[in-house]
Amino acid sequence: MRSKDVSWYWQKCGVLDYDEATRRWLVQKTDASDRILTKDGDPMVNGGLDSKGQFCQVDSQYWIPRIQLMFLAEDPVVFAKRVAQAYHDREAAEATIRYNLYLDCMPVDGLVEMSQTTLDSITHLAKGSSPQLRTAKG
């Protein structure tokens, strides 16, 4: 969980790599001139790889998911809609998980089983009060 004490904001960055296994992008914050720099402050060349083929580790490099990365060529409105939908989907998934957890944790000791007659009566009354339920199967 992210701290509420930390202020998060969008920053310009350069993409260095993509990991298909984790579906995350390696990005590095750029300087004021929109350049990616090495630890020594020199412009990064060779895609950020050193002579051994390893990425030069810099504190401003992060592996991030696509939802947190907006390319400059991307339509900001489409991007914002995708982020909003992802947020909505996450809220719905969390609510479903909580609901199922509550059901799983409900005490059932001492509960009596409902008779089939009572269940049929409730189903009949519920279907009678709603046109959509009248035609529903089950």
- A 10 A CB-CB count for 57 gives 9
| CA Rg value for the chain | 27
Q: What is the DSSP string of 42-59?
A: PBP-GGGB-TTS-B---T
Q: Which residue matches tokens 């907006």?
A: 70
pTM above threshold 0.85: no
Q: Could you read off the pLDDT of 79-125 as tens digits, one per residue?
A: 999 999 999 999 999 999 999 999 899 888 888 888 999 989 888 88
- Residue 111: per-residue pLDDT: 82
- Residue 59: per-residue pLDDT: 77
- Residue 36: per-residue pLDDT: 78
Closest Cα partner for 55 from 18, 7, 87, 8? 18
Number of H helices, E strands in the chain: 3, 3
Closest Cα partner for 16 from 30, 24, 28? 28
CA distance 44 to 28: 11
Q: Could you read off the pLDDT of 18-75 as tens digits, one per residue?
A: 999 999 999 988 888 888 777 777 777 666 666 677 666 777 888 999 999 999 999 9
CA distance 38 to 55: 10
Tell whether the model's pLDDT for residue 137 goes beyond 70.
no
pLDDT band at 10 (very low <50, low <70, confident <90, very high): confident
